[in-house]
Structures are given as structure tokens and as C-alpha cells.
Amino acid sequence: MSTHFGDRLIDAIREKNAPVCVGLDPLIERFPKALLQDVGIPLTAAGAVEPDVDPAMCAKAMRAFGQEIIRAVAPHVPVVKINIAFFERYHADGLRAYFDLVRFAREAGMIVIGDVKRADIGHSSTQYAQAHLLDVPGADVAAPDAITVNPYFGFDTIRPFVDIARAEGRGLFVLVQTSNESAAEVQNLVLPDGLKLCEQVGKLVQTWAGGEGLVGRSGYSCVGAVVSPRDLDSTERIRTLMPQCLFLVPGFGAQGRTAAEVAKCFRSDGTGAIVNASRSVIYAHNIAPYCDRCGTDWTRAVEQACKDLVIAIRDVVPH
């Protein structure tokens, strides 16, 4: 893997005509009963997962669920984002399932974002960067194409990730404006020049992203940003302040952002963003109208929700 990450992402979005990412946040409590039974997860009489199931068994269920999701969405969207928090809950077994799914998604031709939100001071960030951005063929580990990182420490903690991204054709998405409500407590603090903190962080990230050897032929850097349109004014300003950054846009679907809101994350030429939805797709088997329409094959519900998501996003991308 050595082509520039931003170029690969832009090409993949164009090929599927879908600036869309499906987020894999697997909670076994919400898995289809049929899948849980296939894997052998013990269920109560009411069909709920028994407490204290063996973590290796849970990891097995997550692997099976993830593979079905990836098979269902891969024909329609270019990117899957896998959130490691849900896997860490099962410790070493979960981490193995996470990396197995990264490999599975890459082999299915998808671009994989590891949603790890890591950061630490320099020499510790180097360890995280090696863990999450480097393949280890001898250990059967395939790393994601890109990961999410946290900016609170400033650039010297981001540099180890940038160095590996540049050398290996990988990417980063630095948290700038997140989708949760109380993010405003920190990210909306207003600085004396009138910029909000998230806007100032966006400016900094653009500086980092424009560094030597980081911008591809598409004009985008391999260093992007996580930007939710939680605050629309900020979103417009951030889009202007960060011309070379690709935005990973959370908050659509279950988190309540509308398609018109996420549209603000694109540049006027219709590029520059990829919109993520997680729960509204991967749990579509629980959500009307999908569950009603798709009968017993729960993956049909997921696939239909994914196709509808793509159409909804296509509809609002500027062109």
C-alpha cells in the first residue's frame, strides 16, 4: 500500500459515486438473534444475550456480524470505519477480532478507517502509530488505511502518525468538531480573535496537513479531520480554513444530523468529505421500515439502509 491516501480515497468515492462511510460499532446486544444462535451465544428465554458470556465467544460473534455487514455494504460504499472501543470491551479477544475485520474489509476492496482516537506524547504516540498504521505480516496483522487521532497535545504528538502515513500511503483524521452535545463545552470556547477553539484547531490541523510530501495529486492531504456539522457556522468556517483536508463527517443518522447539514462539510465542487452513518445502517434489521420489509434475511435490511443512505447523501452533495 503506497499510493497517497487522499488520492485513493477520492478515487474510491468517485468509483462508487458515494462519499459515504459505514461505521461498525458492534454491540452484541443488538445483533440479530439468528446470528447469535449460529455462533452459539447463550440467550435467555426472552431472546436476550445472557450475562457473562465468554469474551472469546463474543469476539466470534463480532467477527461474524462484521463480516456480514462488510459483505452487505461493500458493493455500495467505498469506506468502512471500525470503532475499536467496541472491540476493546473484550480485551485481547476483541482486539484480535478488530484486526481480523480490518483485514476482511481490506480484502473486500474497502478503504478502512480505524476509529481509535489515540494520542499521547511523542514517544508513546510512536507506539500507537506502529500499532495502528503498520501491517505486521509475520503476526498476521493488517492495519487500517487511516485512523482517527486526538489533537489536545498539539503537533509533536501527531507527528509520529504523520511520518508513517507519509511513508506508507496511510491517512489520519484529526478530531476537530465532534458530534456529541457537550463537545461545545470545550470546542466552542471563543478565542479573542473570534474563532472558536475547534476552528483554531482546524487552522492548526490545516498547517500540519499542508506539510511537505503530504498533499496528493487530488490536492488533498493524507491528514484529514473529523468534522461534524454540530455547529453550522463553525462548520462553514472550518471548511474554508481547511481547504486541503478531507473531512470524515460523523453524526448523520442515529446521531441526528440532517443531509442538508452534512452538505456543509463538502467543498463547492462536491469533494472534500465522506459522511459516516453507523447505527442507522448496521442495526437496520431493528429499524422500521427495513426490518418490516426484509423478512428473515437481516443483511437485506442492512443493504437496503446502506443504499438509501447513499442516495440521501448523493442528493445533497454540491454539484
* Catalytic residue check, 117: yes
Which amino acid, one-letter code, is at 231? D
Minimum CB separation from its own copies for residue 306, in Å? 20
Which of positions 8-67 make contact with its own copies (CB under 8 A)? 25, 52, 54-55
**Cβ contact 293:215 at 8 Å:** no
Per CB under 8 A, the segment of 3-11, 172-180, 268-276, 282-290 that binds its own copies is 172-180
Interacting residue with its own copies among 66, 179, 249, 266 (CB under 8 A): 179
32 and 285 in contact (C-beta within 8 Å)? yes
For the CB of residue 34, give the shortest distance to its own copies in the complex, in Å. 24
Of 185, 212, 269, 292, the one binding its own copies (CB under 8 A) is 185
Least separation, in Å, of the C-beta of 300 and its own copies? 26
Interface residue with its own copies among 38, 181, 236, 315 (CB under 8 A) is: 181
Q: Is 152 one of the binding residues for its own copies (CB under 8 A)?
A: yes
- What is the per-residue binding string for its own copies in 250-279, x denoting contact by CB under 8 A? x----x------------------------
Residue 38 CA: distances (Å) to CA of 24, 61, 65, 252, 303: 20, 9, 11, 31, 20
Examine residue 155 and tell whether it contacts its own copies (CB under 8 A): yes
Residue 182 within binding range of its own copies, rule CB under 8 A: yes
DSSP-derived pairing of the beta strands 273-277 and 171-177: unpaired
How many residues of this chain bind its own copies (CB under 8 A)? 65
> Which listed residue (33, 60, 117, 203) is catalytic?
117
- Cα 115 to its chain centre, rounded Å, is 5
Q: Scan residues 106-145 and list those touching its own copies (CB under 8 A).
A: 115, 117-125, 127-128, 130-132, 136, 138-139, 141
Q: Which is nearer to its own copies, 198 or 310 (CB)?
A: 198
Task: Write out the catalytic residue numbers.
Answer: 117
| Chain contacts with its own copies (rule: CB under 8 A) | 25, 52, 54-55, 83, 85-86, 88-96, 99, 115, 117-125, 127-128, 130-132, 136, 138-139, 141, 150-157, 175, 178-187, 189-192, 197, 200-201, 204, 250, 255
